[in-house]
Amino acid sequence: MDPRVEEHAEVLVEWSARVEEGDNVVLNVGPDAHELAVAVAEKVGERGANLHTAYSSGEVGRAYALAHDGDFEEDPDHVLALMENADVVLSIGGGRNASEGSDVPPEVQQAQSKARQGIREAYMDTDWVGTVHPTRSLAQQANMSYEEYREFAYDAILRDWESLADEMAKMKDVLDAGSEVRIVKEDTDLTMSIENRVAVNSAASVAYDSHNLPSGEVFTAPAATEGEVFFDVPMTIRGERVQDVHLTFEDGEVVDYSAAENESVIGDILDTDDGAKRLGELGIGMNRGIDQFTDSILFDEKMGDTIHLALGRAYGSNFPEGHEDEANDSAVHVDMITDVSEDSFLEVDGEVVQRDGTFRWEDGFDADA
């Protein structure tokens, strides 16, 4: 076994999920994630936790959904009971075909998702962590050879998370103390209020309220957005390639938009509901183990020297206790990414925090460059 598979399992079980003796663990395994599942089972056993292994297959899910009449039962007892009695849920993505769900009608997917709201809530109450085992299908999606993709994925996953968490704590401190953020680059000059918000240091561990491995971003929930922003990182949204999105905000809402490719996807998102016109997230990517875009949000939005903004739903974790219901509400949460590695700066309360990808606590930083 590639020793990185065992290291991945160790990071997942120990750093990310903090599995402890007696924990009831559900391990969701993708069809091609078997190898990592074996390594994770070993770590779960070592810790004296209790393991149930579930099979998470796009083909199985598709066959079931397409054959069903669409009137899905609400929160089936057996799955709800499993989830309500779980302490930790580890989900290892790694299918054989990233497009497996492409012919399941969106309304069927939505009906199924809606019928499982109680299960999803029980799941969110666990110490859940999502990761991926680098598979050939994911390599293909990233337009890489299998070996190249494994290098890429493990560079992103096998970080020194403790020191990255310390590094990100600096960014969190700046955001927590600040009131207004400004991003400036080509076709971009955007200001947002972050007054009374709590930034999350997303250090790939439930101990940091962070549930993805890899992670490596600091995010908050902006408001009162004004100005324009240009997203130069191409992305697949709802199965469509979307390129060079440009948004204009007034009074916190999108008033104009354009895209070089599949502009209508952006229009559809904005039309979802009122919340879809507002930003739900501002994220600062700080994982420098990720050095290229692979059309996977799990990796792309964490990339060092990038900033992402999401239209739609905000996370309650960005609000002070008791104020979680002030989070922007929407049925969607769509991330878009802009490269800030050069000719750009990020200001908080009028002071430059990052210029051309370099933070002010790093060597080579020049506020006025």
Given the complex with a second copy, which of 66 and 255 has the nearer CB atom? 66
Q: Which is closer to a second copy, CB of 5 or CB of 270?
A: 5
353 binds a second copy (CB under 8 A): no
Q: Which of residues 16-55 bind a second copy (CB under 8 A)?
A: 22, 24, 26-27, 29, 31, 34, 37-39, 41-46, 48, 50-55
Task: Identify which of residues 85 and 179 has a Cβ nearer to a second copy in the complex.
Answer: 85
Task: Bin 239: left if φ > 0, else alpha if -120 < ψ < 50, else beta.
Answer: left
* Contact with a second copy (CB under 8 A) among 3, 69, 251, 322: 69
**How far apart are CB 110 and a second copy at their closest, in Å?**
17
Give me 281's structure tokens.
Answer: 């997230």
Taking Cα atoms as reference points, which of 263, 272, 271, 279 lies closest to residue 229? 279
- Per CB under 8 A, 121 contacts a second copy: no
Burial class (CB in 10 A: 0-12, 13-18, 19+), 69: exposed
Distance of alpha carbon 178 from alpha carbon 183, whole angstroms: 14
Best CA proximity match to 361, nearest among 178, 194, 174, 181: 174
Which residues contact residue 78 at a Cβ distance below 8 angstroms, ignoring those fewer than 6 apart? none
Give burial (CB, 10 Å; 0-12/13-18/19+) of 84.
Answer: middle
According to DSSP, the β-strands at 188-193 and 351-355 are unpaired
Nearest distance from C-beta of residue 49 to a second copy, angstroms: 9
Cα pseudo-dihedral 335, 341, 342, 348, rounded to 10: 70
Q: How many residues bind a second copy (CB under 8 A)?
A: 48
**Phi, psi for residue 62 in degrees, rounded to 5:** -65, -45
Which of 27/247 has CB closer to a second copy?
27
Q: How far is the CB of 27 from a second copy (least distance, A)?
A: 8
Biggest CA-to-CA distance, the chain: 62
Between 44 and 254, name the residue whose CB sits nearer to a second copy. 44
The correct pick among 64, 125, 250, 292 for binding a second copy (CB under 8 A) is 64
The verdict on 81 binding a second copy (CB under 8 A) reads yes
Q: Tell me the closest approach of the beta carbon of residue 117 to a second copy, in angstroms.
A: 15
Q: Closest approach of Cβ 134 to a second copy, in Å?
A: 19
Closest distance of CB 73 from a second copy, Å? 5
Place of tokens 């397409």: 66
**What is the smallest separation between the CB atom of 139 and a second copy, expressed in angstroms?**
20
- Looking at the Cβ atoms of 21 and 321, the one nearer to a second copy is 21
Residues forming contacts to a second copy in the complex (CB under 8 A) are: 22, 24, 26-27, 29, 31, 34, 37-39, 41-46, 48, 50-57, 59-61, 63-69, 71, 73, 76-86
